[in-house]
Amino acid sequence: MSQTGQFREGARVGVLTTQPLDRVLDYRAPEGGCGVGDFVEVPLGPRKVLGVVWGPGAGDFDAAKLRPVGRILDVAPMRDEMRDFLHRAADYTVTPLPAMLRLATRAPGLGDAPSMRKIYKLGSTVPNRLTDARVKVMDVLRSQSDAAFTLKELADHAGVSASVVKGLVGLGAIREEDSPRDLPFPVLDPRQPGKALTDDQTTAAQTLREAVRNDRFATTLLKGVTGSGKTEVYLEAVAACLASGRQALVLLPEIALTAEFLDRVEARFGARPAEWHSGVTMTERRRVFRMLGQGDAQMVVGARSALFLPFQDLGLIVVDEEHESSYKQEDGVLYNARDMAVLRAMLNDAQVVLASATPSLETWANAKAGKYARIDLTARFGPARLPEMRAIDMRDETLDRGTWISPTLRGAVAERFAKGEQSLLFLNRRGYAPVTLCRACGQQVGCDHCDARMVEHRFLKRLMCHQCGETKPIPTICPSCGAEDRLAPVGPGIERITEEAQSVFPQARIATLSSDMFGSARALKAEIERIASGEADIVIGTQLVAKGHNFPKLTLVGVIDADLGLQGSDLRAAERCFQLMRQVAGRAGRAEAPGLALLQTHQPAHPVIQAILGGEEEAFWAAEAAQRAAAGAPPYGRMAGIILSGSDAGAVFDLGNHLARNARPLLEIGAEVFGPAPAPIARIRGRHRVRLLVKAAKGAPLQAALRRWVAPLTLRGDLRLSIDIDPQSFY
């Protein structure tokens, strides 16, 4: 599928591979020639590797030794704007280009010949007597005659076993056909009417529709409380985009949210869009990749990595819950999908919609400065109102040792329970107890590989390190002093709150929601649906529940420890706490019953707690912005984190000191360098970690200076250096 054969057979071409090499390699164009953007397989040493024709060859490689490109793969060539995007994203994140290309080629089997699979359709013979099971199969085929079912799909749809289908094939009632595996996605119909919108929603939707029709780049913050209909509104923008023949991408922060969202898309546009996240099978990934490239998929719903898919004509990117920290990839290539979405849209003359009830300060500031448009949805849809928020001053409450639900909160839950309404108890801490302490020697049980405590997970009956995932059985003997049966859990995790709730409310049906408690996204989804349908009286959850699920019967939210987010020296601690508390509170009172949110706190007068209770969002952001501006912190200044790691602590520190002493390229742009200092988690998986922090003025050419700074380094042994532009976490 070569473009125009820009390079004739034998011509020298430059190929960017996904291998960690710092340059584009020269090859000869294959028989029939090739074009810029072609996906190719090239020989590299004894191996064959994936690459993309990047341009003419550099010409500095001995012509006699040039090897020809192996073959051109049967996928649409990479578009110019995609190559541009990868370049710019690599520049921005100070990442080598091959690593960026790897993000854009995460569909295994791209080079495979399009394989075939068997599909099942109505046959020509109509048998006269059929068993019930067989009738079910025939009914499915008759009612969906243009669908292509695999054996399993057909059997599942009909609710019968595969042998029933096979039996019908034997009778000639069903035909078995070979069909290419990578089928186009079903067509979405943007002309189907959506829900009747309220006045506010209509105005917002119209603004977005017009913006999309302009075919020009722009970014809009769509701000609205949970339940105000942001999703309904941005689906109108999607409709406008699809109607104009362009493709749309909707990014969600959490896989668990996709199922519910796919249903809404199907209800709105009559078919399901393509899906892209870590839970999608390899063959399906390949299908998404190919179909997007050739324009046979109109819409993708996915996780942050969907940003690197080969859209043929991307017209709209929606980033839902844009403030979520999960949009920042924290290993490998360190990028923020929200920011990269804006970059990608700019290069595609596309629209960006950033939706949130509690935008990030960055986005809030960009809207304030007029760089982004802003649309506010102030009212909740229908009779639902924002919950009332109150603090429970924990200094006035009397609690038994080892309990965390205050009498006031207990009373409020009891009231809801009596009325058949749901309560949510929120604690952003997985596991049973954050600390396991020996009562004999006072030592905490730590991870062998990390500078972190082991967290007891009683449901799993193990201790777990939340840094490296290592688990071990809960010991009976203290690993430090050998005392027997003296280990005790200290502090609450969500499992311990569950235990407490069970003993206080023995009659209540209690559901616990935490990301580590479900083996699969499907199991989690099932549990969420169970809760939504009212099959739980008390829901106990971590921040997983804060993210956009609809629980219509929920009228009370109790935050076990509202002070938890205020701790820590993190730049964004206040912002995060504010966002999380507002979001969790937003879970209550979505339907007719009004909601109440109670925050257990020891610091009811703390400015952040006050801002949460008062709901004075603009005032909170303005104050937060003023503080950051005064400190030259993002978004009013720029930051980069440097993380050094290695198995030899001395060598890691030496490298840090060397960098700090040779920071001339940074000083030249007026930047400051702090550190080296041991990272807050000074050891992970046996590797010692040291951090440096670089601060620069907003307009300073930070990335170029960073590149000049680290370029002379050679990393010996297992030393690693990674650069984190606009760091979100500082662990």
From the CB of 552, what's the least distance to ligand ADP, in Å?
9
The answer to whether the bond into 634 is cis (omega within 30° of 0) is no
465: partner contacted, choices Zn ion, ligand ADP, none (Cβ within 5-8 A by kind): Zn ion
From the CB of 550, what's the least distance to ligand ADP, in Å?
6
Draw the binding track, 181-200, toward ligand ADP (x: CB under 6 A; -: no contact). Answer: --------------xxxx--
| Closer CB to ligand ADP, 318 or 394, in the complex | 318
From the CB of 674, what's the least distance to Zn ion, in Å?
27
From the CB of 212, what's the least distance to Zn ion, in Å?
47
Burial class (CB in 10 A: 0-12, 13-18, 19+), 725: buried
Burial class (CB in 10 A: 0-12, 13-18, 19+), 560: buried
Instruction: Work out whether strand 299-302 and strand 247-251 pair parallel, antiparallel, or are unpaired.
Output: parallel
- Determine, following the binding rule CB under 6 A, whether residue 33 of this chain makes contact with ligand ADP: no
Residue from 42, 248, 274, 465 binding Zn ion (CB under 5 A): 465
Q: Considering only 224-232, 291-299, 394-402, 609-617, which stretch makes contact with ligand ADP by CB under 6 A?
A: 224-232
Burial class (CB in 10 A: 0-12, 13-18, 19+), 385: middle
Subset of residues 503 to 542 that bind ligand ADP, contact rule: CB under 6 A: none
Residues 6+ apart with CB under 8 A from 150: 117, 118, 119, 120
Residue from 449, 462, 606, 707 binding Zn ion (CB under 5 A): 449
Could you identify the residue written with the tokens 């935050």?
A: 559
Residue from 140, 251, 255, 450 binding Zn ion (CB under 5 A): 450
Amino acid identity, position 618: E
Draw the binding track, 538-577, toward ligand ADP (x: CB under 6 A; -: no contact). Answer: ------------x---------------------------
- Closest listed residue to residue 294, CA positions, set 6, 41, 71, 77: 77
**How far, in Å, CA of 573 to CA of 320, rounded?**
21
CB-based contact 693:673 (threshold 8 Å) = yes
From the CB of 686, what's the least distance to Zn ion, in Å?
9
| Closer CB to ligand ADP, 201 or 348, in the complex | 201
Residue from 79, 134, 223, 230 binding ligand ADP (CB under 6 A): 230
381: partner contacted, choices Zn ion, ligand ADP, none (Cβ within 5-8 A by kind): ligand ADP
Question: Could you tell me how far CA 451 lies from the centroid of its own chain?
Answer: 26
| Closer CB to Zn ion, 384 or 447, in the complex | 447
b/e sequence 398-430, b meaning 16+ C-beta within 10 Å: eeeeebbbbebbbebbeebbeeebbbbbbbbbb
- Determine, following the binding rule CB under 6 A, whether residue 335 of this chain makes contact with ligand ADP: no
Per-residue tokens: 505:
């409310």
From the CB of 202, what's the least distance to ligand ADP, in Å?
9
From the CB of 605, what's the least distance to Zn ion, in Å?
38
Q: Considering only 64-72, 219-227, 480-488, 558-566, which stretch makes contact with ligand ADP by CB under 6 A?
A: 219-227
468: partner contacted, choices Zn ion, ligand ADP, none (Cβ within 5-8 A by kind): Zn ion
Per-residue tokens: 276:
């892209």
**How far, in Å, CA of 264 to CA of 271, rounded?**
10
Residues 6+ apart with CB under 8 A from 170: none
- Determine, following the binding rule CB under 6 A, whether residue 224 of this chain makes contact with ligand ADP: yes
663: partner contacted, choices Zn ion, ligand ADP, none (Cβ within 5-8 A by kind): none
Subset of residues 470 to 509 that bind Zn ion, contact rule: CB under 5 A: 470
SS3 677: strand
- Determine, following the binding rule CB under 6 A, whether residue 583 of this chain makes contact with ligand ADP: no
**How far, in Å, CA of 236 to CA of 197, rounded?**
10
Subset of residues 353 to 382 that bind ligand ADP, contact rule: CB under 6 A: 381
Per-residue tokens: 305:
């990595």
DSSP category for residue 387: P
| Closer CB to ligand ADP, 64 or 196, in the complex | 196
Draw the binding track, 380-409, toward ligand ADP (x: CB under 6 A; -: no contact). Answer: -x----------------------------
Q: Considering only 202-210, 271-279, 467-475, 582-590, which stretch makes contact with Zn ion by CB under 5 A?
A: 467-475
195: partner contacted, choices ligand ADP, Zn ion, none (Cβ within 5-8 A by kind): ligand ADP
From the CB of 358, what's the least distance to ligand ADP, in Å?
12
| Closer CB to ligand ADP, 198 or 444, in the complex | 198
450: partner contacted, choices ligand ADP, Zn ion, none (Cβ within 5-8 A by kind): Zn ion
Per-residue tokens: 622:
């303005």
- Determine, following the binding rule CB under 6 A, whether residue 258 of this chain makes contact with ligand ADP: no
CB-based contact 53:70 (threshold 8 Å) = no
224: partner contacted, choices Zn ion, ligand ADP, none (Cβ within 5-8 A by kind): ligand ADP
- How many chain residues interact with ligand ADP (CB under 6 A)? 15
From the CB of 442, what's the least distance to Zn ion, in Å?
21
**How far, in Å, CA of 550 to CA of 568, rounded?**
31
- Determine, following the binding rule CB under 6 A, whether residue 227 of this chain makes contact with ligand ADP: yes
DSSP letters, 480-530, are: TT--BS-EEEES--HHHHHHHHHHH-TTS-EEEE-GGG-SSHHHHHHHHHH
CB-based contact 117:102 (threshold 8 Å) = no
223: partner contacted, choices Zn ion, ligand ADP, none (Cβ within 5-8 A by kind): none
Amino acid identity, position 459: F
- Determine, following the binding rule CB under 6 A, whether residue 201 of this chain makes contact with ligand ADP: yes
Question: What's the half-sphere exposure (Cβ side, CA atoms, 13 Å) at 498?
Answer: 22
- Closest listed residue to residue 137, CA positions, set 152, 118, 115, 116: 152
Per-residue tokens: 644:
């050094």
Q: Considering only 113-121, 354-362, 379-387, 469-477, which stretch makes contact with Zn ion by CB under 5 A?
A: 469-477
CA distances from 320 to 251, 313, 382 (A): 6, 21, 22
467: partner contacted, choices ligand ADP, Zn ion, none (Cβ within 5-8 A by kind): Zn ion
- How many chain residues interact with Zn ion (CB under 5 A)? 7
From the CB of 359, what's the least distance to ligand ADP, in Å?
13
CB-based contact 683:608 (threshold 8 Å) = no
- Determine, following the binding rule CB under 6 A, whether residue 582 of this chain makes contact with ligand ADP: no
| Closer CB to ligand ADP, 10 or 383, in the complex | 383
From the CB of 331, what's the least distance to Zn ion, in Å?
15
- Determine, following the binding rule CB under 6 A, whether residue 232 of this chain makes contact with ligand ADP: yes
Measured between alpha carbons, how far apart are the two ends of the chain, in Å?
A: 46
**How far, in Å, CA of 349 to CA of 339, rounded?**
16
- Closest listed residue to residue 509, CA positions, set 520, 498, 517: 498
Q: What's the angle, vertex CA 127, arms to CA 124 and CA 130, rounded to 5?
A: 135
| Closer CB to ligand ADP, 198 or 403, in the complex | 198
Q: Considering only 230-238, 413-421, 470-478, 652-660, which stretch makes contact with ligand ADP by CB under 6 A?
A: 230-238
Per-residue tokens: 52:
């993309």
Q: Considering only 221-229, 291-299, 344-352, 668-676, which stretch makes contact with ligand ADP by CB under 6 A?
A: 221-229
Give the number of other Cβ atoms within 10 Å of residue 101's Cβ: 22
Could you identify the residue written with the tokens 């569950």?
A: 498
| Closer CB to ligand ADP, 152 or 195, in the complex | 195
- Determine, following the binding rule CB under 6 A, whether residue 226 of this chain makes contact with ligand ADP: yes
Give the number of other Cβ atoms within 10 Å of residue 627's Cβ: 12
- Determine, following the binding rule CB under 6 A, whether residue 324 of this chain makes contact with ligand ADP: no
| Site of interaction with Zn ion (CB under 5 A) | 447, 449-450, 465, 467-468, 470
Which residues bind to ligand ADP, rule: CB under 6 A? 195-198, 201, 224, 226-232, 381, 550
